[in-house]
Amino acid sequence: MNSTLSIDRLQQMWQKVTVLHSGQTYGGQHKDEKIEYINHIGSVVFEILNACAHTENFNGELAVSCALLHDSIEDTTLTIEELKQLYGEQVTAGVLALTKDKNKPKDQQMIDSLTRIKAQHKEVWAVKLADRICNLYAPPYYWDNQKKLSYLEEAKTIHLHLKDGNEYLANRLMQKIEDYKKYLA
């Protein structure tokens, strides 16, 4: 790993994130399957930790911090001010770039977010790549083929815009995109 990770700070962050996402679930592959949302957060962190081992000059603490908190503004009660107070300007800027602007039309939200991500450190780019890698496991049972195709196209857009941010994760995302095609009808 190319930068020292403060394990105490990250453990404290993990506790906070676990509480923030407590009770949140998402649909699995089967109708009766519910997966705890914290599983997604952990999966993104695992991707980032693996990227740390494969990437030179990579600020692991910034990347892991943003990975832990990447959905906190969008999906929890954490406010921007609390985020800034607890974790500082740099992490807050990264998390905000990773957060969709719900005031924009839905068809503009992803490009807007990608534009904001590209103005950040490459570690923030890496979090978005890792996030989509983790979202390309088996789709929820209730997604129709059109939703799956749309999600796949969005993944290709993410790859196109952010592939230069982290070669290791860009390659992982491209492999996940290829693998995801098996879920299409």
Domain-located, residue 19: yes
Domain-located, residue 84: yes
Phi, psi of 110 (to 5 degrees): -65, -50
Q: Are strands 34-36 and 25-27 parallel, antiparallel or unpaired?
A: antiparallel
Question: pTM for the full model?
Answer: 0.94
- Is residue 122 over pLDDT 80? yes
Q: How many domains does the chain have?
A: 1
Domain-located, residue 131: yes
Instruction: Supply the range of the domain harboring residue 16.
Output: 7-183
Domain-located, residue 2: no
Q: Which helix (H) or strand (E) holds 40?
A: helix 38-54
Q: How confident is the model over 164-174, as pLDDT tens digits?
A: 999 999 999 99
Domain-located, residue 1: no
Whether 61 and 5 have beta carbons less than 8 Å apart is answered as yes
Q: How confident is the model over 47-79, as pLDDT tens digits?
A: 999 999 999 999 999 999 999 999 999 999 999
Domain-located, residue 134: yes
User: Which own/partner contact pairs does 28-32 have at CB distance under 8 Å and 24+ positions apart?
Assistant: 28/138, 28/140, 28/141, 29/138, 29/139, 29/140, 29/141, 30/141, 31/141
Confidence of residue 2 (pLDDT cuts 50, 70, 90): very low
CATH number for the domain spanning 148: value is 1.10.3210.10
Average pLDDT in the chain:
94
Domain-located, residue 98: yes
Whether 72 and 17 have beta carbons less than 8 Å apart is answered as yes
User: Cβ of 69: how many Cβ atoms within 10 Å?
Assistant: 26
Domain-located, residue 12: yes
